[in-house]
Structures are given as structure tokens and as C-alpha cells.
Amino acid sequence: MFVLPPPAQASVAVAGTAERFPVRRIYCVGRNYAAHAREMGNDPNREPPFFFDKPADCVVDTDTVAPYPPGTSSVHHEVELVVAIGKAGRDIAVADALNHVWGAAVGVDLTRRDLQDEAKATRRPWDLSKGFDYSAPIGPLTPVAAVPSLSAGRIHLTVNGETRQDADLADMIWPVADTIAYLSRYIALAAGDLIMTGTPAGVAAVVEGDVLEATVAGLVPLKTTMGPPLG
Ligand code: MN
């Protein structure tokens, strides 16, 4: 019934099983840690949460090589807690929001910072700075019942063994429940949606050959190597 073979279903690994979590959409929160908002030149105090998307097929499993993307000379790492939605909803109440969470994982929001800076300066969209191929390495999801906390715990990223980002989920300006509630006022969340919940301070450039290792307390670590550009 399709005129072409339908594209493969994007998916994320699930810890401890061969089963996978199908990805529908990826929403990302901007400037959700005060120190990161400041390092990007913004006042973190009075901003409501804001969102951008990545295409679902940007996801990359742990232990894969992410080719250095074309069209940029400044790719930054942003370690983030990733929340997977397992139950649809809109206008979700904060008190009910965590009932919509299926699980959580560690992710990295790879960003073409030079293109993003240019987009900000020219008031253009962020799409090409955020939504490129291989731009969302995400580790295996841990089902929510086995996640110790979505609101506190160390979030940490090293490059070649050296710490670049080191913070606590408790530093989030908008906690996970608030983020889900707010987002669901604007779009209907559905099972299969991922929310990348923002990055703490310490974002910096990566180069070909760098090994990124990211952790969130209680979740399966993520390891990504920056590979050579695709030929
Ligand atoms: Mn981000």
C-alpha cells in the first residue's frame, strides 16, 4: 500500500533485554539548568521552559561511532537525562505526570554550536544545529520502576576520561513532572515520545576520535565515539 518501502522504525535499547522502545518524537528542553543558561548568555530566572525537536531517527545506540557531522567546525556535547513516555496524554497535571513515564536513559544532545549561534543571531530556526544524523546518542532505557530518581542524582560527562560536565538532576529549573505537564498543554504526548530534559553547564567542543562517556545516577552509562566524517 506504500509507494516506497516505509522507513525503519527508530528505536532505543532497553536495559537487560533484546526488546526495544519505539521512538515517535524527540522533544528537547532548552536551558533547563541555571548555570548552563548563564554560560550561554541568558538569564535563567524568569524563563518558562521552551522546546525544540530532533527527528526520531537521530537516535544512536551506546557503543556506536557517531560520524563527525558535515557543515560545522564546532560540535558540542550536552549530557541529558532522557525520559521516555509510555502513556499518551494532554493537559497532564503535574501530580499525574510521572505516571506517563515508561523509563529513563542517559543521552547526549550533540549540537552544531556554530550553526546554532548563527541561527540565534539571525533569528532563524535551530533545526540544522540540532536535528542532524547521529545527533542523539541515547543509552539503554531503564524501566521507571527501577529508576532510583528522576529529580536528584549525579549527571556527569567525560571526554577521553576528563570531566566536562558534572551536576545534579536537582539543579534542573523545570523538574521532569513540570516539563511533561507544560509540554502536554501544547501538544498531545504519545507513547514512544522521548524528552531530553536539558543539559547542565560545561558544554564544549568535541573532535574526531573523542570518546564521550555519560552517566546519570542509577541508569546505564552511555559511551559514544566521534568518528571521521562520512565519506
Ligand atoms: Mn540540549
Q: Could you read off the pLDDT of 88-119 as tens digits, one per residue? A: 999 999 999 999 999 999 999 999 999 999 99
Evaluate if residue 39 carries a pLDDT over 90: no
Quickly state the pLDDT bin for 4 (edges 50, 70, 90): very high
Evaluate if residue 66 carries a pLDDT over 70: yes
Give 216's strand partners. 155
Quickly state the pLDDT bin for 43 (edges 50, 70, 90): confident
**Ligand 1 mean position to 130 CA, how many Å?**
8
**Ligand 1 mean position to 160 CA, how many Å?**
21
Separation of alpha carbons 190 and 172, rounded Å:
23
Residue 18 is which amino acid? Answer: A
| CATH fourth-level superfamily of 11-227 | Fumarylacetoacetase-like, C-terminal domain (3.90.850.10)
**Ligand 1 mean position to 153 CA, how many Å?**
18
**Ligand 1 mean position to 10 CA, how many Å?**
20
**Ligand 1 mean position to 93 CA, how many Å?**
24
The mean pLDDT value of the chain amounts to: 96
| Residue pair 193/185 in contact by the 8 Å Cβ criterion | no
Q: Could you read off the pLDDT of 213-226 as tens digits, one per residue? A: 999 999 999 999 99
Evaluate if residue 45 carries a pLDDT over 80: no
At 216, list the grid cell: 546519570
**Ligand 1 mean position to 78 CA, how many Å?**
5
Q: Where are the domains of the chain?
A: 11-227
**Ligand 1 mean position to 172 CA, how many Å?**
12
- Give the E-state strand segments of the chain in sequence order: 11-13, 20-22, 26-30, 50-54, 59-60, 64-67, 75-77, 79-85, 101-108, 111-112, 136-137, 142-143, 154-159, 162-168, 194-196, 204-206, 211-216, 222-227
**Ligand 1 mean position to 6 CA, how many Å?**
29
**Ligand 1 mean position to 74 CA, how many Å?**
15
* pLDDT at residue 165, as a whole number: 98
Separation of alpha carbons 226 and 79, rounded Å:
15
Burial class (CB in 10 A: 0-12, 13-18, 19+), 155: buried
Quickly state the pLDDT bin for 46 (edges 50, 70, 90): low
Q: Could you read off the pLDDT of 129-170 as tens digits, one per residue? A: 999 999 999 999 999 999 999 999 999 999 999 999 999 999
Enumerate residues with CB within 5 Å of ligand 1 (an ion). 78, 109, 199
**Ligand 1 mean position to 80 CA, how many Å?**
7
Quickly state the pLDDT bin for 48 (edges 50, 70, 90): confident
Give 166's strand partners. 156
